[in-house]
Amino acid sequence: MEKLDEENCGPNGTKPLSFFRTNIKVIKSVYLDVEEREAIREELKNHFDTLLYHPVGNNLYCCFIKWRAVISKCRFTFLIRIVKDAYELRLRNNFDLHCMDDWKQKDDEPVRGYNRRYRQRLIELYPDFMNKLYRMTNNRSDEANFLRTEIVGNYIASLKNELVDIMPIFKRNEKSLEIVMETAEYYEKEWAERKKRR
């Protein structure tokens, strides 16, 4: 199992989540049977306590300690699910859209490469964005729709001006990063063909 330390904390506390997931996979691969895990649940909780303790005061550890105290007699898997959900909620609530304002497509960078880089940076800031904000969903939550729209707006503003000038204006229901990124790739090809014809 992997221990958390100051070098692997990551931006906005997202690295602890990946270490959290890695350690859960290790536990589930060693103890395949749920009953076997539950028989040693206090021992597993103590292991997680040790793994998450450093760096001192990290948010994932604080979240783990809080929920372990609140639901002390619960099953190990239930505690892990609650802690993971609570921590992800905390990350979402602290997600700062303004840190994306200076993200720009480089002059010599193709859209596909920029899309890859943009998604990677977004994953670092918001680990679950692929499920929650990347694609269109039936979720009518104002918060999710606001974030989705703002992320799309930031992405479009970060593209090269000549590309933005030829792209269509997106309707509200089409505003998802997935659709806009695919559209940008298509219009980049169109723009390249126009330049060849001149």
What one-character-per-residue DSSP string does the chain give?
-PPP-GGG--GGGHHHHHHHHHHHHHHHHH--SHHHHHHTHHHHHHHHHHHH-PSTT-HHHHHHHHHHHHTTTS-HHHHHHHHHHHHHHHHHHT--GGGGTT----TT--HHHHHHHHHHHHHHH-TTHIIIIIS--S---HHHHHHHHHHHHHHHHHS-HHHHHHSPPPPGGG--HHHHHHHHHHHHHHHHHHHHH-
Predicted local distance difference test score (pLDDT) of residue 159: 94
Amino acid sitting at position 58: N
Predicted local distance difference test score (pLDDT) of residue 109: 93
Predicted local distance difference test score (pLDDT) of residue 185: 94
Predicted local distance difference test score (pLDDT) of residue 5: 43
Predicted local distance difference test score (pLDDT) of residue 150: 82
Predicted local distance difference test score (pLDDT) of residue 194: 81
Predicted local distance difference test score (pLDDT) of residue 2: 42
Contact yes or no for 187/166 (Cβ under 8 A): yes
The radius of gyration of the chain from alpha carbons, rounded to an integer in Å, stands at 21
- Per residue of the chain (198 residues), what is the pLDDT tens digit? 444 444 444 444 455 556 667 777 888 888 888 888 888 989 988 888 888 776 666 777 888 899 999 998 888 888 888 988 888 777 667 767 777 778 899 989 999 999 999 888 877 776 655 555 555 555 555 555 777 788 888 899 999 998 889 888 887 667 788 889 999 999 999 888 888 887
Predicted local distance difference test score (pLDDT) of residue 181: 92
Whole-number Å distance between alpha carbons of 49 and 53? 6
Contacts of 70-76 spanning 24+ positions with Cβ under 8 A: 75/38, 75/41, 76/37, 76/38, 76/41, 76/44, 76/45
